[in-house]
Structure 1
Amino acid sequence: MHRLFVALRPPAATRIFLAGLMGGVPGARWQDDAQLHCTLRFIGAVDRHLAEDVAAALGRVRGEPLALGLGPAGTFDRKGRVDTLWVGVQPREAVAALHGRVDAALRLAGIAADDRAFVPHITIARFPRSESPGPEVASAVTVPAGHHFEVSHFELFESQLGSEGASYETVARYSLA
């Protein structure tokens, strides 16, 4: 089985910028450079044949390169416990439009539609159950205005879960040009 997701990978300068925002939050397990991405669509575990159909379907997604910026920090919680600290990706509408095209392509490949609200973001930290902060932890990360970047492609990743967290490998890249 292949555990897949589709994401935008920010350029190195943006990943370095994000790394500079990390620190000063007790209990945070900070993401490393290889983990910094903006998920467009989580697919989950699929067999080899469906993985090939997914890769082919994503090849039909069209778009233009995206001029993006980083927005305020936020959190996600699971059952009332904050488990994720993230930095927003803007403009939301541009990333959401690409998310919609990716989701439509995946439906044609046999993947069920994503029914969750889409929030463009890059996860910068996760929290173990024993260290769950409150939602105010987002205010500990100040994202200075003015950091912009361009992405000219999106990627299909395979995720491997391990004792130290997930590791990601690029399966395919798709141009937005």
Structure 2
Amino acid sequence: MPRLFAGLEIPPDIGRSLSDLRGGLPGARWIDPENYHVTLRFIGDIDGLAANEIALTLFRVNRRPFDVTVQGLSSFGGKKPRAVVASVVPCRPLMELQAELERLMQRMGLDPEGRKFTPHVTLARLRDASNRDVADYLSVRGYFPSRVFTASRFVLFSSRSSVGGGPYVVEDSYALSA
């Protein structure tokens, strides 16, 4: 049973820049740069028939390419930080693409996504990292100059269940070329 999600790939040059920020944070499990992505819609563990149906449904998306801006670092989790992320500016085309994917998945019978969409690239998952350690890390490495790339496609990724951070496999890709 594959675990699926739709997302945007991060170009290798931006991935290399982000990977330079690795290290110096106790309790961090750093994501390999080839697994950096922006999750648009987590789908979850799906049987083979449903996975094929989802893959075919995503071909209905008819959108234009758009620019994506990766800008700055932050953390998720508040008082108990759980991830260090590179922020992605929530531009209109990105938000509309995500909303369309959400609608399509709900029409297929999937539950609505439980969290508000906050576009980001996860750099590290945190275990037992203190607020102080994360704040110190971000004060030293938190400046990440804006990097822009053009999203010309989104992809359907699969991953092994219960192992966050990859490896991820591109199962199918969907051109943005309306």
TM over 0.5: yes
The answer to whether the aligner puts 1:120 opposite 2:84 as a matched pair is: no
**Which secondary structure state, in structure 1, belongs to the residue aligned with residue 77 of structure 2?**
strand
Q: Secondary structure at the match of 1:166?
A: coil
Distance 1:87 1:164 in 2: 17
Describe the shift of the 1:163–1:50 C-alpha distance in structure 2 as closer, same or farther (beyond 3 A): closer
Counterpart in 1 of 2:82?
83
Q: How does 1:69-108 map to 2 (within 5 A)?
A: 69-77=69-77, 80-108=79-107
Is the contact between residue 71 and residue 86 of structure 2 (CA under 8 Å) also seen in structure 1? yes
- Shift in alpha-carbon separation, 1:51–1:164, aligned structure 2, 3 A: closer
Separation in 1 of the partners of 2:170 and 2:61? Answer: 17
Counterpart Cα distance in 2 of 1:105 and 1:111: 9
Farther off after superposition, 160-169 or 116-125: 160-169
Distance 1:169 1:70 in 2: 22
Is 1:157 the counterpart of 2:154? The answer is: no
- Taking the aligned partners of 1:12 and 1:157, their CA distance within structure 2 comes to 17
Structure 1 residues 2-60: Cα deviation after superposition (integer angstroms, max 9, x where no partner): 11111100111111111122222222211102220000011111111111111111111
Matched positions, count: 174
User: Matched residues, percent identical?
Assistant: 30
In the TM superposition, what is the alpha-carbon distance from 1:109 to its structure 2 partner?
A: 2.2
Unpaired segments ≥5 residues, structure 2: none
| Alignment-derived partner of residue 170 in structure 1 | 170
CA contact (8 A) 1:161 1:167 kept: no
Distance 1:115 1:19, change over 3 A: same
Which residue identity lines up with residue 114 of structure 1 in the other structure?
A: E
Aligned to 2:8: 8
Give the whole-Å Cα distance in 1 for the aligned partners of 2:140 and 2:14: 19
TM-score, scaled relative to structure 1: 0.88
Matched, 1:139 2:136: no
1:67 aligns with 2:67: yes
CA distance in 1 between counterparts of 2:85 and 2:110 reads 26
- Which runs of no fewer than 5 residues in structure 1 stay unpaired? none
SS of equivalent to 2:73: strand
* TM-score normalised by L of structure 2: 0.87
Partner in structure 1 of residue 40 of structure 2 = 40
Instruction: Give the letter aligned to residue 145 of structure 1.
Output: P
- After superposition, residues 16-27 of structure 1 pair within 5 angstroms as 16-27=16-27
1:69-111 deviation per Cα after TM superposition (whole angstroms, max 9, x unaligned): 1122121228x42111101112443322111011112122222
Distance 1:123 1:113 in 2: 22
